[in-house]
Amino acid sequence: MTGITTLSAKTILVAETQPFLRSIIVDILRNIGITKIHTAGSCTEAVTQIRTWLPDAIIMDWNLKGGTGVKLANWIRTGNNSPNLELPIVIVTGDTAHEKILEARDCGIDEIIVKPVVPKAVISRVKLLFMAKRDFVSSHSFIGPDRRRRQNGNYKGSKRRLKDASENVATSIDAAFLAQADQIQSLLKEMNVNDRGAVMTLYRASQTLWEDAAEHEDNHLEEIAKSLIGYVQAMGASGKLEIKVIAKHIDAIHQLKDLIEQGNTDPSSMLNELKKHVADQVSNSQAA
C-alpha cells in the first residue's frame, strides 16, 4: 500500500510524438494510480511542460519531434534554465545497440524502456525511479544518477532484461495460446483501422499474446508476439495499419506450431522473412 500511495502522489510528464503510444503509456500510469500526468508531443512542448508543472519524472521517446530525447536529457541535466537538474528520466527506444545504451547512460538517463512498450516494463521502471532511487552525481565530467546501480533489498519489482542468455524453445504450443491468436484473427474481419478504440482492442489482445508467449518460455514464439505488438504500436490509429501484416503474424504462429510438431527447432528462415516483411511495411508507411 505504501508503494502505491507513493506513486499516486507523483506527477509524470509523458513526452511522446506518436499519439497512440503516448496514450498507451498514459493508460498504464493511470492503472497504477498515477493521475497527475501531463503530455507533450515534441521537445519544445516538453520543455514548456517541465518549466510549467515541475514534474517528478519524465518518460520520453528517443526520437522526440523537434530534437531527440538525448538532447532534451542534456538540457535537463546541464541547461542554465533547467528547473530541475535531478529530474528522473526514462527514455523509450527501439534501438538496443550497445553504443546507444551507453549514450543514454552517459547523458544522465535513469532508466530505459525498450519498444514495444508493455505495462510490465513501464511499471518496473517507474518503481525503480521512486523506490530504488540511485544517488545523484554531479562532477565536471558527468551529471546524473550513479551509473553503478545500488542493490536495494527492499525493492521487489521485476528485474530488467534486454535478452536472455539462454535459448528457450518449447516442445509444443497449447490450444489456449492458439485460441488467443485466433481471437486476434477474428478481430480483423470487420476492423476499422482508423478507429482508435478498435486499434486499442487489438493492441491489448496482442499484449496478452506476448505475455502468454513469455510464459511458454519459447524465444521464437515470443519473437513473433513481440513483432506483432511492435507493429501495432508503430502504426497506431494512423489508418496505415495493414490487416494483412497482422494476419501474417498469426499465420507465423501456426507455422511455428507445425514446425515444432515436425521436430524442426530452427524456424529462423520463417522468422527472418516475417521481420523483413514488417520492417518493409513500416518503412513504406513512414515514407508515404
What would the mean pLDDT of 245-274 be, rounded to a whole number?
90
pLDDT tens-digit readout, 56-67 = 999 999 999 998
The per-residue pLDDT for 173 is 79
Residue 86: all three cell numbers together: 535531478
pTM (predicted TM-score) = 0.81
pLDDT by residue (tens digit) across 217-231? 778 888 999 999 999
Among 162-166, 193-197, 212-216, the range scoring the smallest mean pLDDT is 162-166
Counting DSSP H helices and E strands in the chain, the numbers are 11, 7
Q: Compute CA distances 42 → 155, 258, 268, whole Å.
A: 33, 46, 38
Hey, what domains does the chain have and what are their CATH numbers?
2-145 (3.40.50.2300), 175-287 (1.20.120)
Q: Taking a C-beta distance cutoff of 8 angstroms, is the pair 77, 144 a contact?
A: yes
Contacts of 54 (CB under 8 A, 6+ apart): 11, 83, 84
Query: pLDDT for 155-173, tens place per residue?
Result: 444 444 333 434 555 557 7
Question: What does the pLDDT look like over 108-159, one tens digit per residue?
Answer: 999 999 999 999 999 999 999 998 888 889 888 888 988 775 544 444 444 4
23/149: higher pLDDT? 23
Average pLDDT for the chain:
87
